[in-house]
Amino acid sequence: MTAHAQTVEQIVDNYETRAVASNVEYKFAQTIDDNQTQRVYTQRTYQGIPIYNSYSTYIIKNNQVVSKASSDNFNISLKRANTTPSLSFNQALNVISQNEGLNIISDTKITKKGIYLSNDDVQEIVYYINEDQEPILSYTFSYQLVNDNQNDLIHVVIDANTGKILEKHNNTLSCGFNHESFYNENLATFNKEDWNWLYTDINNTAASPQYNVYQLPFEAPNRGDRSFADLSVSNTNASPNGWHNTTEGTIKSRTEGNNVRAVRDHDSKGYQTYNSSSNTITIKDSDYADGGNSLNFDFPMNLDNHPYTNWEAATTNLFYMNNMMHDIFYNYGFTEANGNFQKVNFDKGGTGNDDVIALAQTGLAIGSINNATFATPADGRSPRMSMYLWSKTPESLTINNPSNISGKYKTSIPTWGGSLTSTSLTKDLVLILKSETTGTPYDGCGTITNTTEVNDKIAVIYRGDCSFAIKAKNAQNAGAKAAIIVNNADGMINMGGDDPTITIPVIAISKADGDSIVKELKNKITVNGSLTKMEDEYIDGSLDNGIIAHEYGHGISNRLTGPLYTSSCLNNAEQMGEGWSDFFGLMITQLPEDTGKTQRGIGTFASGETSSGKGIRPTVYTTDMKINPSVYSDLKKYASDTSPHNVGYLWATMIWDLNWKLVDKYGFSPDLYNGKAGNNLALQLVMTGLKLQPCSPGFVDGRDAILKADEQLNDGVNKCEIWQAFSDRGLGYSAKQGSSNSRSDGTEAFDMPPASVLECKLATSDIKESTFQMYPNPAKDIVYIVDKSIKKDIKVDIVDMTGRVVSTKTVKFDGQKGSISTDNLSKGIYILKFETSNGTVTKKLIKN
């Protein structure tokens, strides 16, 4: 044991002795050196055997423990249990073999279906704590499951006496975005000058690498055009040798480097042969996008063609975004010592040999679409990012007349009912009527009264009051040649059900589209339409920076939570992995003009919604609680839901609110490398909080970790804003988490800490949110003011930290934006007091 490790152990042991913590036994698991602090993990043991996922996390600074967080099961009282297993490890493996219906394979190459287990996979005897808080002697290990179109990392816990599988988790996170992207309603006002840290004037003959990509803050092709980036957008601290250096010390001319290998995977061979233990995939050199000796990654793009024809441009965009995620989040603590993704770690800590394997346009060959996945093994083994194609919503309905509503309409088509053909079915449309008074007259759930009109026509039916199959069958019995179901809420319908006796085609359309058609029919206007089978069309997820950021975010949260040698600390029911991933994507695509009430939808681009759609989360992300009313008690709604996405949505709502509390306090900076504004602080607090929280965290754990982060980084000066953001959403001072492995036992509370604990005289709730925004902050020579509600010039007093007014200026507005020169101010912190028609607005400014 080194002197350094001995010193750390003594510090922790002395701390526990003074704290008289719980008299529990523990072993030292890992120590991570991180920016003048040390993060030390101990694992609880019982009878000399480790307890599964039972860790305490200590932060040591200046030879003192300044923070400690423990897993739920760290301090529990235990009774004696078996110490000798009845089953051997090989017998436990046979349990998995029988459960999966596949053979155990020890080959280091993935060549066929099976269960792959390498010598590097840790197999451990542990005590698993069940719901009755009883210790069960168990085996825990990970394996790679390869079966048909599946190649996933699986983690299991098996009872070492009975062979029962106690836990089984897929560590390849399948996000099922249903075409995830991010909507920003203010992108039309995007000002390139605000983003000089990302954009430069590129000379296409320059020797520097050049990438024609969708540059941040753009999220997808529907938000803007491609533009050229060069290595000036990189972070030299994070990538000191650029993006194309490799372990061989050479510069690759293709989409390969120290941080990521990005390749096309049209045949899904890379997906199927990915081996997490050897960090390999089977691909061809021609699967990389190659920029040649000049490193000019400028490839053609035509979004009207099949995505495969754009593979070089897509792979380049995937390479760019993985490197940007690496370089941005390096500044917030996702470094070598903290398990980031790099082949070579430059002797800065961590294991290395774990660059991201990023697969562009994978899955279609094996029948997988509409998804994105990220597999995160332990430190030292490469994660795999898989970017799929997404099916475009078909426009199977064409309205021929009247001309005022003519055109193509997006449709959803169920797996049941008659099939559309390439030969159009052209008929007049008829609104179906029924005699019953329940529901609406047009829902088709009863006795049809206008069968003569419906016969040989296309029936139009509103959703509601009975199943889709009953509606379609009633229309068919009335003689209809097809049925169109109109949604009664925003968005498209996924029509479930099945009735093999239904032979007519059935489609569904949105409420907005359906209402425009029904309006004409109610006015006795003849509406003629055609139903036609459309060829499958696809959207490329590799072009969607929001999806890429979300997936990469899973790697960040998994690596920063718990010791680096495990990847199982975010397997519990109340963990918030999907929330951190949504948050990261939102944070890197903010604009200076945004406010807390800006509506940020998830899943609008590739799902074919309009830009104002809410996407696939229950609501858009916004601080406006009339639009996003999410509170902690909503977690109970998801208690029986196996998907973690709604849990993540609730957590992302809370920390997105926190971001805006801090932006209101410190302003906004688009510079994610060097900025010191509120959004930079929010991102730093969340990232540091990931390191401070325990293994298997819940919402209260996550909240408390962010409070601890502010205490360590900023002496707790933002406690009031942090508490206000969480208490507004029901995670206040008196809130109780219950077990982090349950979503149904938490207790909601909206209270702030009592004054005896924390005095918040100017709590955020006392300050009315404004559309007033100031940027950049910190500033050098000029500050811009944005507020569309201001119609005339306003006065501003610039006050230094002694309270002295050092300057009074007039801000002239052009109808939306004004500016203030700050070049005559000395470096330091100032308060700017703006006198507006809406009252006085106060902003803190940092002058560099």
Core vs surface per residue 483-511: b (16+ CB within 10 A) or e: bbbbbeeebbbebebebeebebbbbbbbb
Residue 119 CA to residue 257 CA, distance in Å, equals: 27
Query: Could you give the angle at the alpha carbon of 720 between the alpha carbons of 718 and 724, nearest 5°?
Result: 120
Residue 325 CA to residue 321 CA, distance in Å, equals: 6
| Closest residue by Cα to residue 458 from 478, 435, 436, 487 | 478
Residue 490, classed as helix, strand or coil, is coil
CB atoms within 10 A of CB 532: 17
Which residues, in sequence order, are bridge partners of residue 600?
621
Residue the block writes with tokens 């807390």: 596
Residue 718 CA to residue 462 CA, distance in Å, equals: 51
124 is catalytic: no
Q: Identity (one letter) of the amino acid at 281?
A: I
Render 418-463 in DSSP notation, one character per residue.
BPP-SS-EEEEEEE--BS--SS-TTS--S-BS-HHHHTTSEEEEE-
Phi, psi (degrees; rounded to nearest 5) at 618? -55, -35
Residue 771 CA to residue 488 CA, distance in Å, equals: 33
CA distances from 64 to 16, 22, 28, 150, 320 (A): 12, 19, 17, 47, 41
Hey, what are 659's tokens? 């971001």
Are 70 and 694 within 8 A, CB to CB?
yes
CB-based burial label for 270 (10 Å; 0-12, 13-18, 19+): buried
Give the active site residue among 336, 551, 593, 721. Answer: 551
Whether cis (ω within 30° of 0) applies to the bond prior to 217 is yes
Are 63 and 6 within 8 A, CB to CB?
no
Residue 252 CA to residue 246 CA, distance in Å, equals: 7
| Closest residue by Cα to residue 57 from 35, 81, 26, 86 | 26
Hey, what are 352's tokens? 């290395």
Residue 132 CA to residue 754 CA, distance in Å, equals: 35
- Active site positions, annotated: 551
